[in-house]
Structure 1
Amino acid sequence: MKINMTRWMQDIIRRKDIAAIPVMTHPGIEIIGETVLRAVSDGNVHHKAIEALAKKYPTAAATVIMDLTVEAEAFGAEISFPENEVPAVIGHMLNSPEDIERLKVPSLRAGRMPEYIKANLLAARSITDRPVLGGCIGPFSLAGRLYDMSEIMILIYQNPEAAHTLLAKCTEYILRYCKALKETGVNGVVMAEPAAGLMSDEDCKRFSSDYVKQIVDQVQDDYFTIILHNCGNTGHCTKAMAATGAGAYHFGNKCDMAEVIREIPPTALAMGNLDPVSVFKESTPEAMHKATAELLGRMRDYPNFVLSSGCDTPPYTPFANIDAFFEELEEYNRKNS
């Protein structure tokens, strides 16, 4: 459904009640009785999980699975597929600057990419009461999965030219993917760039944000928004994130939400940041109520705040905890609207 995302974000900032967009799809997989493996391999199953979750919870937007392997797989990386856990990249496929030079940018028909595009297309068609947000990896995080995370950190200092060559190829592919997602009718994309949090603010800008900005400049408009996610940021590279010009920013639980939001333009959304593991998955409903209430109280003075998980909620997150999250938000909004 065509939604003016600029107006949608302005409305969230303007209204008194707080919106919630937890990044979660795995509970939807469990609602429909499927496995993670099936959801990350079959666009129809993936779509049904997104749709089921949208029907169950009053999220301000629907999100797809945060899968940081699908682009790497398209390039040729080996992927592990547990039945009920998120996929993972096995090892790395590039070992030298020469390998980077030889690396070909794949087509959008490689690997599971067609199934992900299908899931986004079906979700955009069936969920019409709120925005649907696709997902992709960020350039530096993709480069790290192809070259090895430790090795890419060494490469940016020893051979920055080779690192920039790899980042340019990663960016070209992610840009193609974002354009394809935009054509499906989804209203934006959550770009997961957690590895950028390993760098200083200056290096984050040079080796991540400058490339993310290239994508933002070419695909973001009134009807399509980039939400930049960096759960590796502890607060040290928020300025670099903001330099991308993304419409919204999503933060992990390692940072102080009340601190990082001050470095985000007041016209952009700042989303976060309850711990997806220790709070969403492993705590009790009582602890979830308390953590949600505390975060809402601390963010009271920031109209552009959106309540969210700090990252994708993992498989087997208890529904009682998710229910408590929304119950606490509803209570807060009732008292403060």
Structure 2
Amino acid sequence: MSESLFLNACYKRNKDRPPIWFMRQAGRYLPEYRKLRSKYSFLEMVHTPDLACEVTLQPITRFGFDAAILYSDILVITEVFNLYFDFIEGKGPQLRDYHLSITEIAKTVSNEPVIETLSYVYDAISLLKSSLGNRPLIGFSGSPFTVACYLIEKQSSKTFSSVKSLIESDPSLFHSILQALTEVTITHLSNQIKAGVNAVQIFDTWGSMLTDDDYHTFSFDYIYQIVQAVQSFNVPIIIYSKDTANKLPSLIKLNTNVISVDWNSSLDVLQQQYPMMAWQGNLNPHTLLESLPAALEETKMICETMKNSPGFIFNLGHGILPKTPLEHVDAIVNYVKQL
């Protein structure tokens, strides 16, 4: 694994072309994924190690990405507390026990967790290690705040009004939920590493809804606990935080190896301001979907900006969109690989 472009870039020692992988690279834009999805539900695929392994490998087989990311979901850790999400087509995740109050959810989350609930995740990782050879595998989790948002709202939301209300009305209750999720996340990421992943990424998808002060209190502090605990395993840690260009001074203080940014951030400016960091990003997935010439032009600009960086990983600024044409993905991968 010492010759991995991806791992070398994570540690800022890459002397070759930038590595490339895409968030959600295993997903609905792939016909082979849709074929499998027609036979099994999303949760069946996540919960069945053989299927999760197969789906994880699909984009590697088709495009030859430089890293694989485990096919799973940030919300599986709620199963530790006997809280289950259903994934409804066109609507996203929805808490199965939708009738539960926030207080009842908090009490449930505070129960002693049994991490063996997630053994299917670690079994999938073990299967993948024998199939991936020298290609690195990325494990992941959501940030405690992001997972808590889904628990409190009981589904995805555009306003997160229940979360904002809880922050105002009962911050101590919210902190108890966040701390419980933090402890489970540490164990979950640790178990993924023990099972064989070569790096981990923390998705702080909804941190952008917080003010700077609240971000530090309700998101940063808990991610920091996770990073501190997981660093002892000596694998690269990536933090992805969407729409948080204004919070980068805080993200730097997390002491992760890599920060993954969206298209609202300028990689040129970032590497000048924070030369100690490795960076991941940041092609707009909407550009990749809509226009191959525009996507190629944006890719060229990004790669030209970062051409002298030993710590750059080419990626999207968010997950690949389901209707993205395969030829667009193929062209971008080929361009980066030919640098």
Using the size of structure 2 for normalisation, the TM-score is 0.83
Alignment gaps of 5+ in structure 2: 154-159
Offset of residue 60 of structure 1: 2.6
| Structure 1 residues 82 and 118: alpha-carbon distance in aligned structure 2, compared to 1, 3 A threshold | farther
| Rounded Cα–Cα distance in structure 2 between residues aligned with 1:260 and 1:207 | 25
Where does residue 260 of structure 2 map in the other structure? 250
| Structure 1 residues 309 and 40: alpha-carbon distance in aligned structure 2, compared to 1, 3 A threshold | same
| Rounded Cα–Cα distance in structure 2 between residues aligned with 1:28 and 1:125 | 26
| Structure 1 residues 128 and 307: alpha-carbon distance in aligned structure 2, compared to 1, 3 A threshold | same
Offset of residue 175 of structure 1: 1.0
Conserved 8 A contact 1:63-1:133: yes
Question: Percentage identity across aligned positions?
Answer: 20
| Rounded Cα–Cα distance in structure 2 between residues aligned with 1:181 and 1:160 | 31
Conserved 8 A contact 2:11-2:257: no
Q: How does 1:57-72 map to 2 (within 5 A)?
A: 57-65=63-71, 67-72=73-78
Pick from 226, 237, 241 the counterpart of residue 237 of structure 2. 226
| Structure 1 residues 193 and 293: alpha-carbon distance in aligned structure 2, compared to 1, 3 A threshold | same
SS of 1:322's equivalent? helix
- 1:56 lines up with 2:66 in the alignment: no
Structure 2: which amino acid aligns with 1:291?
E
Alignment gaps of 5+ in structure 1: none
Offset of residue 89 of structure 1: 2.7
Q: Deviations over 1:166-221 (max 9, x none)?
A: 11001011111111101111112111111112123332222112211211112224
Structure 1: which amino acid aligns with 2:250?
A
Structure 1: which amino acid aligns with 2:60?
A
Q: How does 1:66-81 map to 2 (within 5 A)?
A: 67-81=73-87
Where does residue 27 of structure 2 map in the other structure? 26
Where does residue 146 of structure 1 map in the other structure? 151
| Structure 1 residues 95 and 241: alpha-carbon distance in aligned structure 2, compared to 1, 3 A threshold | farther
| Rounded Cα–Cα distance in structure 1 between residues aligned with 2:283 and 2:60 | 20
| Structure 1 residues 152 and 82: alpha-carbon distance in aligned structure 2, compared to 1, 3 A threshold | closer
Moved more, 27-36 or 203-212: 27-36
Offset of residue 59 of structure 1: 2.5
| Rounded Cα–Cα distance in structure 1 between residues aligned with 2:172 and 2:284 | 37
Structure 1: which amino acid aligns with 2:249?
K
| Rounded Cα–Cα distance in structure 1 between residues aligned with 2:145 and 2:14 | 34
Q: How does 1:72-151 map to 2 (within 5 A)?
A: 72-82=78-88, 87-90=92-95, 95-97=101-103, 99-101=105-107, 103=109, 104-110=111-117, 113-148=118-153, 149-151=160-162
Moved more, 316-325 or 5-14: 5-14
| Rounded Cα–Cα distance in structure 2 between residues aligned with 1:330 and 1:54 | 14
Where does residue 221 of structure 2 map in the other structure? 210
| Rounded Cα–Cα distance in structure 2 between residues aligned with 1:245 and 1:88 | 31
Offset of residue 79 of structure 1: 2.4
Q: Deviations over 1:136-182 (max 9, x none)?
A: 11111011111123322333344322222111001011111111101
Conserved 8 A contact 2:8-2:14: no
Q: Deviations over 1:265-287 (max 9, x none)?
A: x34321111222x123x323333
- 1:240 lines up with 2:250 in the alignment: yes
| Rounded Cα–Cα distance in structure 1 between residues aligned with 2:257 and 2:5 | 9
Regions of 4+ moved over 6 Å: 1-7
| Rounded Cα–Cα distance in structure 1 between residues aligned with 2:256 and 2:11 | 17
Where does residue 17 of structure 1 map in the other structure? 17
SS of 2:290's equivalent? coil
Q: Deviations over 1:271-307 (max 9, x none)?
A: 111222x123x32333322221232234345442221
- 1:279 lines up with 2:287 in the alignment: yes
- 1:45 lines up with 2:47 in the alignment: no
| Rounded Cα–Cα distance in structure 1 between residues aligned with 2:81 and 2:113 | 6
Structure 1: which amino acid aligns with 2:67?
A
SS of 1:220's equivalent? helix
Conserved 8 A contact 1:2-1:187: no
Offset of residue 100 of structure 1: 2.1
| Rounded Cα–Cα distance in structure 2 between residues aligned with 1:260 and 1:139 | 26
SS of 1:81's equivalent? strand
SS of 2:206's equivalent? helix
* RCO comparison, higher one (Cα < 8 Å, 6+): 2
Conserved 8 A contact 1:28-1:53: no
